[in-house]
């Protein structure tokens, strides 16, 4: 009989939600995390009385009432609505692409006029491809031009995407942008989901609620003493990099990562919005997050005299950096499938989450997945 029923490697949403469910079923769990804090990438740090999203903006959104009720049972979520703004050469445009954007771009005031403008530019892109003897988009640029036309592509997509991926849009595969949501209404709500918000008091309160009564240890590297950790539990829940788990047997998977530059400013409100994207390539960062807008509204905003921003720089991942986004191109997808075949043969190891499944996840689908697991 081993000391624990489950060793859970990683205290992000997958690991923490699994630990909560297992504890409720009377299982003894140990959660370890190599970082000095719990919560994975949703961890918040208190700076100037503001809950700073240390690993980038996290906005919870879902259509599943069960998931929404579940997270709200640990901490109340506020009414934050994600309404990003794009800054292109000093001009501001609302996101996602909607009637406000089209008015700002072309001065059109009706859905019919906006639709006609987009269709006109899409037809131009199609005509150019046909002139070049091409029937299917060969790259992301051609795909985007077919979906939205040149004005929005060149001002709001091209530079941002090239910074995000570190490659020219003509070198990126077309499938990265399968569709571009276009709304012919004056609505700046980025998400269509029924439920949306941020935990009042920050995401740490959600993680603390999930891990209440569970033994946790931070600053612990599973791979530094792997034999010991594998020997203390009946089963392992692994949320780290799947290629590292298998000693990079087939080679290393690739990621994109993000570098953050934090600044504190002596004013209560710097940019007037939580998220501002910088879509021209010449600006080195992809966006600026002003964290207080996630939780402070109206007069509350001004009562907090200082503000904290994070500039985000998208970069290639190298060993020692935090991996953020899987690079889901053909080469990496094929490699990840080989690792998945190994994982599927494991009887006492469960792989879950963005790094262990080499798959991009929003927060709500991760929770839904764990809630539906057979423990």
Give the chain's largest Cα–Cα span: 71
Give SS3 for 355.
Answer: coil
- Angstrom distance (rounded) from CA 123 to CA 146: 8
Radius of gyration from C-alpha coordinates of the chain: 22
Question: Pick the catalytic residue: 190, 312, 339, 357?
Answer: 312
Asked if 225 is an active-site residue, the reply is no
User: CB–CB of 15/198 below 8 Å?
Assistant: no
DSSP label of 199: B
From the list 347, 258, 267, the residue with the least C-alpha distance to 311 is 258
Question: Pick the catalytic residue: 120, 226, 249, 360?
Answer: 360
Asked if 89 is an active-site residue, the reply is no
From the list 362, 193, 339, 161, the residue with the least C-alpha distance to 252 is 339
- Angstrom distance (rounded) from CA 157 to CA 342: 38
User: CB–CB of 238/356 below 8 Å?
Assistant: yes
Q: Is the peptide bond before 324 cis (omega within 30 degrees of 0)?
A: no
Q: What angle do CA 224, 229, 231 make, to 5 degrees?
A: 135
Phi and psi, residue 363, nearest 5°: -70, -45
Question: Pick the catalytic residue: 23, 88, 243, 287?
Answer: 287
From the list 215, 235, 253, 239, the residue with the least C-alpha distance to 41 is 239
DSSP label of 155: I
Asked if 183 is an active-site residue, the reply is yes
Paired with 259 in beta bridges are: 313
H-run or E-run covering 132: none
Asked if 312 is an active-site residue, the reply is yes
Looking only at the bridges linking them, the beta strands covering 275-278 and 325-326 are: unpaired
Question: Pick the catalytic residue: 33, 183, 195, 295?
Answer: 183
* b/e 315-332 (16+ beta carbons within 10 angstroms → b): eebeeeeebbbbbbeeeb
Asked if 362 is an active-site residue, the reply is yes
Asked if 141 is an active-site residue, the reply is no
Asked if 178 is an active-site residue, the reply is no
Question: Pick the catalytic residue: 115, 205, 256, 306?
Answer: 256
Question: Pick the catalytic residue: 179, 266, 299, 344?
Answer: 179
Q: What DSSP string runs through 43-109?
A: -EEEETTEEEETTS---EEES-HHHHHHHHTTS-B-------EEEETTEEEESSSSHHHHHHHH---
Question: Catalytic positions, please?
Answer: 179, 183, 256, 287, 312, 360, 362
């Amino acid at each position: 009989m081993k000391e624990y029923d489950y060793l859970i490697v990683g205290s992000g949403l997958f690991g923490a939600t699994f630990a909560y469910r297992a504890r409720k079923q009377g299982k003894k769990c140990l959660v370890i995390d190599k970082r000095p804090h719990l919560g994975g990438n949703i961890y918040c740090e208190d700076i100037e009385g503001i809950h700073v999203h240390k690993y980038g903006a996290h906005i919870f959104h879902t259509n599943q009432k069960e998931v929404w009720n579940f997270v709200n049972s640990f901490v109340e979520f506020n009414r934050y609505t994600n309404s990003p703004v794009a800054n292109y050469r000093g001009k501001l445009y609302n996101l996602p692409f909607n009637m406000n954007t089209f008015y700002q771009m072309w001065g059109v005031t009706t859905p019919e006029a906006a639709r006609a403008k987009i269709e006109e530019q899409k037809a131009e892109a199609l005509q150019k491809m046909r002139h070049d003897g091409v029937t299917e988009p060969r790259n992301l640029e051609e795909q985007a031009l077919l979906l939205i036309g040149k004005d929005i592509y060149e001002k709001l997509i091209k530079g941002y995407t090239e910074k995000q991926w570190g490659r020219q849009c003509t070198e990126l595969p077309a499938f990265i942008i399968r569709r571009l949501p276009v709304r012919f209404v004056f609505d700046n709500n980025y998400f269509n989901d029924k439920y949306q918000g941020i935990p009042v008091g920050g995401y740490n309160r959600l993680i603390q609620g999930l891990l209440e009564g569970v033994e946790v240890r931070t600053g612990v590297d599973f791979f530094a003493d792997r034999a010991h950790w594998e020997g203390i539990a009946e089963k392992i829940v692994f949320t780290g990099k799947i290629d590292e788990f298998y000693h990079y047997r087939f080679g290393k998977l690739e990621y994109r990562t993000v570098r953050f530059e934090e600044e504190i400013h002596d004013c209560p409100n710097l940019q007037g919005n939580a998220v501002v994207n910088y879509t021209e390539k010449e600006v080195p960062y992809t966006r600026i997050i002003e964290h207080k807008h996630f939780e402070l509204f109206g007069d509350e905003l001004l009562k907090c005299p200082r503000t904290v921003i994070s500039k985000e720089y998208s970069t290639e991942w190298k060993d020692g950096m935090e991996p953020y986004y899987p690079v889901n191109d053909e080469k990496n997808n094929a490699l990840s499938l080989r690792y998945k075949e190994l994982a599927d043969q494991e009887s006492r190891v469960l792989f879950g989450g963005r790094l262990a499944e080499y798959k991009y996840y929003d927060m709500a689908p991760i929770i839904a997945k764990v809630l539906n697991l057979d423990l």
